Chain A
Amino acid sequence: AQKITQTQPGMFVQEKEAVTLDCTYDTSDQSYGLFWYKQPSSGEMIFLIYQGSYDEQNATEGRYSLNFQKARKSANLVISASQLGDSAMYFCAMREKEGGSEKLVFGKGTKLTVNP
């Protein structure tokens, strides 16, 4: 079963508008971490934001915020005031303990295109 599901293969947004990228996860652990990474066309993986399973407040980092709904097991990324440079692949990831060790698993990604 897929641990991380990103249902939007591609998204389009107008410059300066906000956009939400969806992510749902599956785990039976109580302690886990959720991450979002950005991959521009140059290929590197850039860490954006983190949300812990015990965090009561939604994480924010500049124009990025994470809409964390624990009961629904969703961790959507919200990008406010989109910029042309936000065009990239975005990956949701989860780190959880499994069998005494920690694995980091990724979703399939969402390709975001920001239109001028």
Chain B
Amino acid sequence: NAGVTQTPKFRVLKTGQSMTLLCAQDMNHEYMYWYRQDPGMGLRLIHYSVGEGTTAKGEVPDGYNVSRLKKQNFLLGLESAAPSQTSVYFCASTQSGTVNTEAFFGQGTRLTVV
């Protein structure tokens, strides 16, 4: 029972490089979210998806792009990484339709941009 899996777990990028973070869930959840966690800021929503082929902006979307080509996968892309994007990134998924279902989280990706 994998749940939500994030790849990679750690990454160091140079300023200007690009990368893609992969989130995969095996629970057939409709909703998927990408958050970033910074000290003192809690978890801030970057982008989210309410189903295959759909994406929407969250609280801090600038500098990131996402895609949901398959229901089980939600990709977060950084086209030109900046030091301000150094953070821990979490992916989460949840059922849709009601507000009473918990979100399941991946283990996080620690990204450092130098």
Contacts and interface: CB of A to CB of B under 8 A. Distances in A.
Interface of A: 4, 6, 9, 31-33, 35, 37, 43-45, 47, 50, 52-53, 91, 93, 95-97, 101-109
Given A52-B99, A95-B103, 15 more contacts: A44-B107, A47-B103, A50-B100, A53-B99, A91-B42, A93-B43, A101-B31, A101-B50, A101-B56, A102-B99, A104-B94, A105-B45, A106-B43, A108-B42, A109-B42
Contacts of B74: none
Contacts, number: 69
Contacts of B35: 106
Contacts of B48: 101, 103-104
Given A43-B107, A102-B31, A102-B50, A32 B45 contact: no
Interface in B82-114: 88, 90, 92, 94, 96, 98-105, 107-108
Give the size category of B's interface with A: 20 to 34
Contacts of A4: 42
A88 B45 CA distance: 21
Interface of B: 31, 33, 35, 40-45, 48, 50, 56, 58-59, 88, 90, 92, 94, 96, 98-105, 107-108
Interface hub of A43, A102, A103, A105 (most chain B Cβ within 10 A): A102
A114 B20 CA distance: 38
Contacts of B107: 43-44
A81 to B, nearest CB: 24
